[in-house]
Amino acid sequence: MEFVPTMIASFVLALALTPVARRLAFRFGVIDQPSSRKVHTSATPLMGGFAIYGGLVLALLIFTPNIYLVEMLAIGAGASWLALIGLLDDRHELGFRIKLVAQALAAGVLILAGIRIQLTGQPILDAILTVIWVVAITNALNFLDNMDGMAAGLAGIAGGFFFILAAGEGQGLVASLAAAICGAAIGFLVFNFSPASIFMGDMGSQVLGFVLAVLAIKLRFSTPLSIATWAVPILVLGLPIFDISLVVFTRLREGRSPAQAGKDHTSHRLSQMGLGNRNAVLVLYGVCAALGVDAIVVSRSTPETALILVALTGLVGLAAFVALERFRMKQQKSGS
């Protein structure tokens, strides 16, 4: 219960800061204009990330114990850097390469503070894996910001499951950070769910993705179940990983740049199958929650059961991947 105040504070702060962010967006012209590659049909303010970042950082400053100061400063520095880069991108449309470099630099700050993947036992190789992971998950959340309420809702759900897992293991830093990200995302979601009155923009999606990547790296288990160390974070973040993999595969297959925006995400395909935008988002909320429950079960299972559950989840994901890709190809053949 000690981390609940952090969650409540980040929720209230993000809720209160979102109207402020709307006014700032209109004042400084940070507006997302509609286009053929976007779902929305009217100009929408694009500074919701200010509310997410503000709610997250202020809550952590108020409630985080001093024993986590060094790591929290590194995480805060990386998140602040990406919030700035995201704001500049929302206003001036920075190139994709610039954002990749910025994300890699944020990962470098984590590594300097001792926050890194510990998989191979080789510091250089683990550092490289850390950079790849942080860049991949940061962009995965950025990719998911394609429909009203999508990225904020999924980040809130994932943050909630990280909170449950970390609190159960007595990991104060991870639980505190997860509580803050869950509260801030849901507080913003009040204004962002369909029909959205404000978008988070890159300022929000990059901060959310970065913090979720950190949570996955920091989450540890006291049991000797080694599979949980790497499988549980991947399951919690399974939907963002699935979506970015699907989109990158599709764009490369079609001879397009992975950075080129388009209506080819998981949510778009579900909507085109007849669900519509809002129902597609709700279905993906359910998928994300199911993966979170799966992660909890895996963390508490025997190694043999955990391996079977992870394998079955992977097979279901592969089947969904193939089905969505075939749907895309049929659409293209029919010219729709």
pLDDT in tens, 176-215: 999 999 999 999 999 999 898 999 999 999 999 999 999 9
Q: Rounded to whole angstroms, how far apart are CA atoms 244 and 266?
A: 9
The pLDDT tens digits of the residues spanning 88-128 come to 998 888 888 999 999 999 999 999 999 999 888 899 999 99
Neighbours of 331 (CB within 10 A): 14
In which residue are the tokens 């024993």 written? Answer: 67
Contact 192, 45 (CB under 8 A): no
| Burial status of residue 255 (CB atoms within 10 A of its CB: 0-12, 13-18, 19 or more) | exposed
Amino acid sitting at position 287: V
Structure tokens of 233?
A: 């974070």
pLDDT of residue 81: 96
pLDDT of residue 46: 87
First to last CA, the chain: 52
Taken as a whole, the chain contains a residue count of 336
Q: DSSP state, 271?
A: I
CA 158 to chain centre: 8
Structural domain boundaries of the chain? 4-334
In which residue are the tokens 């200010």 written? Answer: 50
pLDDT of residue 102: 96
Extract the residue ranges of the chain whose pLDDT is less than 50: none
pLDDT of residue 68: 81
pLDDT of residue 222: 73
Q: Rounded to whole angstroms, how far apart are CA atoms 303 and 305?
A: 6
pLDDT of residue 1: 67
Contact 212, 158 (CB under 8 A): yes
